[in-house]
Amino acid sequence: MFGLPFDSGHVLALRVFPQSDFGPYRTVWHRDPAGDWSIYVDGPRLDTACPRYYGAACTHTGFSRIELTWIGQASLRVRVDRPLLDLTLTASDTPTLRLLNAVGAHLPVWTWKPRAFVRTREWMARRLGMGDLEMSGTMPSGHVGTLMPQRMYFVEEATATLEGADLGRPTHAKPNPVIGEVPLPARGVLAIGQAMWRIRDHVEYERTKSETADLTSRGEAGPSERSP
C-alpha cells in the first residue's frame, strides 16, 4: 500500500517485500495528525527493512507482528499487534488505470533509469490525483532510491482502528503526506512492483548481506537494494 491518508489526519502505508537483498519482511507505517512517523517491522532486523531508508525521519521504529489476509477478490485485512491496528481496504481501478497497468506490466526495468521516463510517470500520477508524487529521490538515510510500481489501484474504501480509535475515512490530502522530504500519494493507492536503492557503503552492504544470507533464499519477488 503506497499510502493511505485519512480525513482524521492519520496516514498509513504498508510494504511487503517477499524478497530483498537482505531477506523478506513486512512493514506498516503510521503518521499521526501531529506529523510523527512510526514504522513497525515484521522481520528479523530493523536495519535491513524500511527503517534502513526511512528511519531517520521517524519518531519510533520497532518490531511488530503483521498479519495479512485477503478477505475478498480485492479486499485486504491488515492487523498489527503492537500497536493494535486493524485495517481493511478494498482496491479498485478505472479504465485509465487498467490501460496504464497493461502498459506498465510490459515495460522493462531499464525504463526506470532515464530521468525523462521517471518524470513522465510522475506527471501521469499527478493527472490521476496522486499529487506531487516523486518516484525517485533521496531518502532520509541519504540513499538515492527509485520506487517502480508496475500496477496501481486506488483505495477509496477503507476502515481502520488504532488502539480502538477510528481513523476516519480515506481522503485526498493537500499537500501530499511526506516522510522526511519524500512525498507519499495524496490519495489511497495500492501498488505492485519493485524498489531499488543505490548502495552507499559497499563494505557495510556486503557485511550485512553476508549476515543475512540465509534469509534471501526464502523470498519470491524483486530486489530492494542494488548498485546503480
How much is the pTM? Answer: 0.90
Give the phi and the psi of residue 131 in degrees, each rounded to 5.
Answer: 75, -160
Give the phi and the psi of residue 24 in degrees, each rounded to 5.
Answer: -75, 155
CA–CA gap between residue 195 and residue 202 (Å, rounded): 19
Neighbours of 206 (CB within 10 A): 11
Q: Please give the chain's pLDDT, 228 residues, in tens.
A: 999 999 999 999 999 999 888 989 999 999 999 999 999 999 999 999 999 999 999 999 999 999 999 998 899 999 999 999 999 999 999 999 999 999 988 889 899 989 999 999 999 999 999 999 999 999 999 999 999 999 999 999 999 999 999 999 999 999 999 999 999 999 999 999 999 999 999 999 999 989 888 765 554 334 445 433
Tell me whether residue 127 is exposed, middle or buried, using C-beta atoms within 10 angstroms of its C-beta: 0 to 12, 13 to 18, 19 or more: exposed
142: left (phi over 0), alpha (psi -120 to 50) or beta: left
